[in-house]
Structure 1
Amino acid sequence: MLIRVDETSKRAIYAQIADSVRTDISAGRVGPGSVLPPAREVAVGLGINVHTVLRAYQLLRHEGLIDLKRRRGAVVTQAATAIAELRAEAEALVAHAEALGVSRDALAALIAGSETSGHSSTQQSEEIRGGTSA
């Protein structure tokens, strides 16, 4: 497993680590029962603080994607199977949204059930239908 981060990104390093693990899970490169590299090993490899890696692992644990076990480390849970199965459906949804002219941000907000910053529900609905642009 290769954990990737972009030092030029504005996204926090711990979030990038979690994103990288999620990507490997959704692509089926890491499955249930797989053991993630030890936090110290990842930290040394990336030249970062071990607590940054642990924060990423805690986030993944909170999402139910990994279990943190004493002496075994971070182990991918059965939820990885569901994530991998949903990947193709998610890609199809994104492609369909793009064909309709709906941005990824608007689609993410729709899925999350939240509003995009500074827009009312009515404005967001109009944007999704293509009635207005921000």
Structure 2
Amino acid sequence: MLLKLDLGDARPLHEQVAGAIRRAVAEGECAPGDKLPPARELSRALGVNTNTVLRGLRALRDEGVLEFRRGRGITVATDAGTRAELVDRVRQLIADAARSGYSRNDLVDLIRGMS
């Protein structure tokens, strides 16, 4: 898995780490069930602190993209590709809503009104 960060990007490094892994999953570079390298190895390859990598990995775990298993390491979740794509679309929707003057709560109300 070849990950790169853009040090000129204004986003926090942990978000860039999560985004790079999300992109690798979405593009099929990492398939469901694949094991990721240890956080220390990823941090050395990316040139960032291990805690930064762990923060990005935890965010992906919370999104359902990665699974942490004691003794087995970190693997790509079974439905990671679908979930990662959906999370990206929701993030874009939130950004679009904000540009149009809608808050997250307004957006939630809109969605609830559709169901």
The alignment's TM-score, normalised by the length of structure 2, stands at 0.73
Question: What letter matches 2:19 in structure 1?
Answer: D
CA distance in 2, matches of 1:113, 1:12: 17
Deviation at residue 120 of structure 1 after TM alignment: 5.3
Deviation at residue 83 of structure 1 after TM alignment: 4.7
- Ranges in structure 2 where 5+ consecutive residues have no aligned partner: 104-115
Percent identity of equivalent pairs: 34
1:36 equivalent in structure 2: 36
Matched, 1:73 2:77: no
1:108 equivalent in structure 2: 92
CA distance in 1, matches of 2:23, 2:63: 14
Question: What letter matches 1:5 in structure 2?
Answer: L
Moved over 2 A (4+): 80-84, 112-115, 117-121
Question: What letter matches 1:108 in structure 2?
Answer: Q
The alignment's TM-score, normalised by the length of structure 1, stands at 0.64
Deviation at residue 118 of structure 1 after TM alignment: 7.0
CA distance in 2, matches of 1:24, 1:39: 16
- Ranges in structure 1 where 5+ consecutive residues have no aligned partner: 91-106, 122-134
Cα root mean square deviation, aligned: 2.8
Higher relative contact order (CA 8 A, sep 6+): 2
Query: Do 1:36 and 1:76's aligned partners in 2 also have CA atoms closer than 8 Å?
Result: yes
CA distance in 2, matches of 1:113, 1:24: 22
1:82 equivalent in structure 2: 82
CA distance in 2, matches of 1:61, 1:116: 26
Deviation at residue 119 of structure 1 after TM alignment: 2.4
Specify the structure having the higher radius of gyration (Cα): 1
